[in-house]
Amino acid sequence: EDQVTQSPEALRLQEGESSSLNCSYTVSGLRGLFWYRQDPGKGPEFLFTLYSAGEEKEKERLKATLTKKESFLHITAPKPEDSATYLCAVTNSGYALNFGKGTSLLVTP
């Protein structure tokens, strides 16, 4: 069965304290791995798609990387506005995204 496991479940950082979120997956024939950000009471907001091992993408303070078994979302010098739940999802089909349960990030001033 395809599975996506995100760790840690929750993370508290001080402003400026860099860290990484992990997404481990077991899926055959990966077609894409996605990172989303979700703020309370809102829908997920697309951040990145990674297609193959070794690929990296960056956006402001966020950098996503992909290996054959996991992806990392690195957050460099985070700010309080980076506080949100970060969701990872994978697909090996023509339609379905298989989501992890998310990592809740809190960045304090």
Partner 1 sequence: NAGVTQTPKFRVLKTGQSMTLLCAQDMNHEYMYWYRQDPGMGLRLIHYSVGEGTTAKGEVPDGYNVSRLKKQNFLLGLESAAPSQTSVYFCASSYGGGAFEQFFGPGTRLTVL
**Footprint of partner 1 on this chain (CB under 8 A)?**
4, 31-32, 34, 36, 41-46, 49, 51, 87, 89, 91, 93-97, 99-102
Phi-psi region of 56 (alpha: psi -120 to 50; beta: other; left: phi over 0): beta
Looking at beta carbons only, is 78 or 103 nearer to partner 1? 103
DSSP secondary structure code for residue 81 in this structure: G
**Minimum Å distance from CB 43 to partner 1?**
4
For residue 75, the minimal CB distance to partner 1 (Å) is 20
Beta strands in the chain (DSSP E): 3-7, 10-14, 19-26, 32-38, 45-50, 56-59, 62-66, 70-75, 84-91, 98-99, 103-108
Residue 6 Cβ, how far from partner 1 at the closest point, in Å?
9
**Of residues 11 and 32, the one with the C-beta less far from partner 1:** 32
